[in-house]
Amino acid sequence: MNKSDIIFNLAEILGCEARKDEPMSKHTTFKIGGNADVYIKVNNLSKLSTILKECANSEIDYMLLGNGSNLLVSDEGIRGTVIRLDGDFRKITLVDETTVFCGAGATLARLCKFALNCGLSGLEFAWGIPGTVGGAVFMNAGAYDGEMKNIVHSVSEISPDGKIGRIEKQDLGFGYRTSVYRTNNRIITGVTLKLQKGNPEEIRSKMDDYMQRRSTKQPLEYPSAGSVFKRPEGNFAGALIEQCGLKGKMCGGAQVSEKHAGFIINKSNATAADVRNLIGDIQKTVADSTGYNLECELIIL
């Protein structure tokens, strides 16, 4: 029995949805990526702990997948196990008048709607960001002068050996598109957020405004992974790329968006290699022409 069979069989015994040789193109917003050896949806903490312990015991590599919205998966796929948080990890509850607990597998869209329905403000900036709450905390997602670090109170987590814990806000290491979870190898299972009471009509108006801005300025009609590069100090990645005449540049099926140069889109059956080559061309051209070294915000596996 190989390692893939070990974890696949365990997942089935636990009653988890599990598949072998699952195309990751089905699970990324880029619609790109080869097959994962095993893909598992885990619906509660006990099952997740059991699976993580088996991965450790059998030396099986694994990764957590959110909504696949900031991710480029290799054309060769993923050797090991991909874990998606489902079920209990998608629940959202109101703890008190201004405190919300949200499972890491819930989408930001659902969380924003929940906050709106509760008359809670602070999440408007996240309306339209296509990730999960866990992914948003992992990278300290932000837009329109808002960031997750401004509303996260604490994070529930589980370590690779199945130990359950929690990290308070002051120890989360939030920075520009980063958190302590970039390096600590622990898995975010839930997030406690502190919001403010607000007027539902004003909250809705602000959400609508942000969504309108996104639809006007971003190439939402094509598969992409959002902004490819981090904002360089003192400038904007999209502006630099446009300045270098790279808008519309193609590499295979990948293209620098003609709508927003900070985005690379899957224009026509792009491969991961197409995207990586285009990223390399952009970085070299921008560095040679402007002196700015663009750093990827996109996670490349």
Q: What is the dihedral of CA 286, 74, 270, 300, to 10 degrees?
A: -30
Q: In this structure, which amino acid lies at residue 51? A: I
What band does 11 get if pLDDT is binned at 50, 70 and 90? very high
pLDDT score at 2: 87
Measured CA to CA, the distance from residue 45 to residue 284 in angstroms comes to 45
Measured CA to CA, the distance from residue 252 to residue 9 in angstroms comes to 39
> Is residue 201's pLDDT more than 80?
yes
Q: In this structure, which amino acid lies at residue 262? A: G
pLDDT score at 13: 97
Angle of helix 108-117 relative to helix 200-217, nearest 10 degrees? 150
Specify the pairing of strand 152-158 against strand 164-168. antiparallel
156 DSSP β-pair partners: 166, 190
pLDDT score at 257: 97
pLDDT score at 276: 98
> Is residue 145's pLDDT more than 90?
no
CATH class of 91-202: alpha beta
> Is residue 120's pLDDT more than 80?
yes
Q: Model confidence over 16-75: pLDDT tens digits?
A: 999 999 999 999 999 999 999 999 999 999 999 999 999 999 999 999 999 999 999 999
> Is residue 15's pLDDT more than 80?
yes
Measured CA to CA, the distance from residue 140 to residue 172 in angstroms comes to 10
> Is residue 230's pLDDT more than 90?
yes
The domain locations on the chain are 3-87, 91-202, 220-300
pLDDT score at 266: 98
The CATH number assigned to the domain with range 3-87 reads: 3.30.43.10
CA separation, residue 228 to residues 70, 185, 282 (Å):
8, 23, 11
Range with the lowest mean pLDDT among 48-52, 143-147, 248-252? 143-147
Average pLDDT over residues 84-109: 97
CATH number among 3.60.21.10, 3.40.30.10, 3.30.43.10, 3.90.78.10, domain 220-300:
3.90.78.10
What band does 210 get if pLDDT is binned at 50, 70 and 90? very high
Where residue 295 falls (left for φ over 0; alpha for ψ -120 to 50; beta otherwise) is beta
Average pLDDT over residues 92-121: 98
CA separation, residue 159 to residues 38, 50, 62, 152, 221 (Å):
20, 12, 13, 20, 38
Do 91-202 and 220-300 share a fold? no
pLDDT score at 3: 84
> Is residue 166's pLDDT more than 90?
yes
Query: Of 136, 150, 296, 278, which is closest to residue 231 (Cα–Cα)?
Result: 296
Where residue 57 falls (left for φ over 0; alpha for ψ -120 to 50; beta otherwise) is alpha
**Where in the sequence numbering do the catalytic residues fall?**
177, 227, 297
- Using CB atoms within 10 Å of the CB of residue 13, give its burial: 0 to 12 exposed, 13 to 18 middle, 19+ buried: exposed
Measured CA to CA, the distance from residue 73 to residue 271 in angstroms comes to 9
Mean pLDDT of the chain: 96
What band does 164 get if pLDDT is binned at 50, 70 and 90? very high
